[in-house]
């Protein structure tokens, strides 16, 4: 057999063994997921002992297909997307062995939900301007500040936190990266109601919140380096999803066109065709990006995919409203809720249109992503930065 065939045969044996000892029909979901992790079948590209087998990432698709065919439960990845797409790869890259053992298993099984404490009222697109302060007190850090636009903070057990530990050096050099306990008495979460009527996001106030130094990721002062790794993974997670054809926003519009001939107009047909082709190009590009990830770490290419995702989603949802006419203006429910996940599929066109407005802001604004592409991909000259070499405390605010 070829090497590929040998690997797949071994994976099938491991899956069969898991299914034999943990029948999905009779095994509790959490018990099954823990066993899957311990068998190295959670994310096969992770190291052995941490839910993986040290194999290329691409083999996970085969494992997932075998488990799905057997009726095995999944870990509800949309509910724990921040943990899976941002916290986990960061912990793997920068965490200590103890941190990896403590956090990765309950993160993957969904026992512990994660959120991201990066953006602040005065530090969004310019993330390096964060003003949340972490002051060392023995083996503990005392944290004070405010974070904003925090998805899932109301559900989270843990957060990845970027805070300023040294205000006397330039802004990029004075930050450190922590794992914050969201149940600490110094952490307060308040809902932020959006244009959709929901409070999917939150603002988080940190008042003398205490974080043990053992929960610092990376070296002190290397927060910017660690945060960049997180952001690259975030943008791939948002923009690089290689879904099946039409399993995206374009699917709603294409289905309406096929099933409702009364909506068809010649000019709309031209628009739909153009959007469909762009969506398919984006889907295939996302698939290629995933293949590149199987061989290495995410780079600035993920920024390009996220930029494309935001633009296309907004264009497609806008077109859907035009296609539906008055029907598209209906809005089913404006009740204030705090959802566990962002669900475009189970909602109406009005919700999709309004929620898509956030796609060009969250996960890096489109303006910042264009700068990243220009400087890191196209190698164009960087924008002048007058505050680059000034101590953070001396920057006018």
Q: What is the pLDDT of residue 289?
A: 74
- pLDDT below 70 — which residues of the chain? 235-243, 291-301
Q: What is the pLDDT of residue 77?
A: 92
d(CA 353, CA 322): 11
d(CA 27, CA 32): 6
3-state secondary structure of 102: helix
Q: What is the pLDDT of residue 2?
A: 83
d(CA 85, CA 311): 21
Q: Which of 185, 119, 153 is nearest to 338 (CA)?
A: 153
**Residue 267 is among the residues annotated as catalytic for this protein:** no
Q: What is the pLDDT of residue 347?
A: 84
List Cα–Cα distances, 165 to 77, 122, 224, 395, in angstroms: 33, 17, 12, 16
Q: What is the pLDDT of residue 180?
A: 98
Residue tagged 């209906």 (tokens): 330
How many angstroms from the chain centroid is the CA of residue 231? 9
Q: What is the pLDDT of residue 396?
A: 85
Q: What is the pLDDT of residue 3?
A: 85
Q: What is the DSSP string of 34-97?
A: HHHHHTT-S-TTSPBTTTB-S--TTHHHHHHHHHHHTT-----TTTTHHIIIIIHHHHHHH--H
Task: Give the pTM.
Answer: 0.88
Give 363's DSSP letter.
T
Give the pLDDT confidence of 335-373 residue by residue, as tens digits.
888 988 877 777 889 999 999 999 998 877 899 889 888
Q: What is the pLDDT of residue 205?
A: 98
How many other CB atoms are there within 10 angstroms of residue 177's CB atom?
Answer: 28
- Greatest C-alpha distance within the chain: 71
Q: What is the pLDDT of residue 296?
A: 56
Contact 280, 309 (CB under 8 A): no
Residue tagged 């290419």 (tokens): 301
Domains of the chain: 1-74 (no CATH), 114-221 (2.40.110.10), 227-377 (1.20.140.10)
Q: How open is the CA angle 133-193-323, to the nearest 5 degrees?
A: 130
Q: Which helix (H) or strand (E) holds 32?
A: helix 29-38
Q: Which residues of 119-149 are buried (b: 16+ CB within 10 A; e: fewer)?
A: bbeebbeebbbbbbbbeeeeeebbbbbbbbb
Q: Which of 6, 118, 19, 45 is nearest to 363 (CA)?
A: 118
Q: What is the pLDDT of residue 344?
A: 76
Give the pLDDT confidence of 18-30 residue by residue, as tens digits.
999 999 999 999 9
Q: Which residues of 73-110 are buried (b: 16+ CB within 10 A; e: fewer)?
A: bebeeebbbbbbbbbbbbbbebbeeebbebbbbbbbbb
Provide the token pair at 134: 């972490």
Which among 234, 262, 327, 367 is annotated as catalytic?
Answer: 234
Q: Which of 294, 298, 292, 352 is nearest to 320 (CA)?
A: 352
Provide the token pair at 259: 């099933």
Contact 257, 263 (CB under 8 A): yes
Q: What is the pLDDT of residue 294?
A: 57
């Amino acid at each position: 057999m070829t090497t590929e065939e040998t690997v797949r045969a071994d994976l099938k044996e491991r899956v069969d063994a898991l299914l034999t000892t943990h029948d999905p029909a009779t095994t509790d979901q959490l018990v099954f997921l823990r066993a899957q992790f311990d068998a190295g079948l959670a994310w096969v590209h992770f190291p052995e002992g941490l839910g993986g087998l040290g194999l290329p990432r691409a083999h996970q698709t085969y494992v997932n297909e075998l488990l799905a065919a057997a009726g095995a439960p999944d870990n509800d990845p949309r509910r724990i997307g921040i943990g899976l797409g941002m916290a986990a790869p960061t912990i793997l890259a920068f965490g200590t062995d103890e941190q990896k053992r403590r956090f990765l298993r309950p993160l993957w099984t969904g026992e512990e939900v994660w959120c991201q404490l990066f953006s602040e009222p005065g530090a969004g697109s310019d993330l390096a301007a964060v003003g949340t302060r972490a002051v060392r007190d023995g083996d503990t850090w005392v944290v004070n500040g405010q974070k904003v636009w925090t998805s899932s903070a109301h559900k989270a057990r843990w957060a990845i936190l970027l805070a300023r530990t040294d205000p006397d050096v330039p802004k990029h050099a004075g930050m450190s990266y922590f794992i914050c306990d969201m149940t600490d008495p110094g952490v307060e979460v308040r809902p932020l109601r959006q244009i959709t009527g929901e409070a999917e996001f939150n603002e988080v106030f940190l008042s003398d919140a205490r974080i043990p130094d053992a929960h610092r990721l990376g070296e002190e002062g290397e927060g910017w380096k660690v945060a960049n790794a997180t952001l690259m993974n975030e943008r791939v997670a948002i923009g690089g999803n290689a879904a099946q054809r039409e399993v995206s926003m374009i699917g709603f519009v294409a289905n309406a066109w096929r099933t409702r001939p009364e909506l068809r107009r010649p000019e709309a047909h031209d628009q739909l065709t153009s959007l469909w082709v762009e969506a398919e190009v984006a889907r295939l590009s996302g698939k290629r990006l995933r293949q590149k990830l199987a061989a290495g770490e995410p780079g600035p290419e993920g920024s390009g995919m996220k930029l494309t995702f935001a633009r296309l989603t907004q264009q497609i949802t806008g077109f859907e409203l035009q296609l539906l006419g008055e029907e598209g203006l209906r809005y089913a429910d404006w009740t204030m809720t705090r959802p566990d996940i962002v669900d475009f599929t189970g909602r109406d066109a009005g919700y999709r249109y309004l929620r898509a407005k956030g796609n060009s802001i969250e996960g890096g604004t489109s303006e910042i992503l264009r700068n990243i592409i220009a400087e890191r991909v196209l190698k164009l000259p960087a924008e002048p930065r007058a505050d680059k070499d000034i101590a953070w405390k001396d920057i006018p605010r």
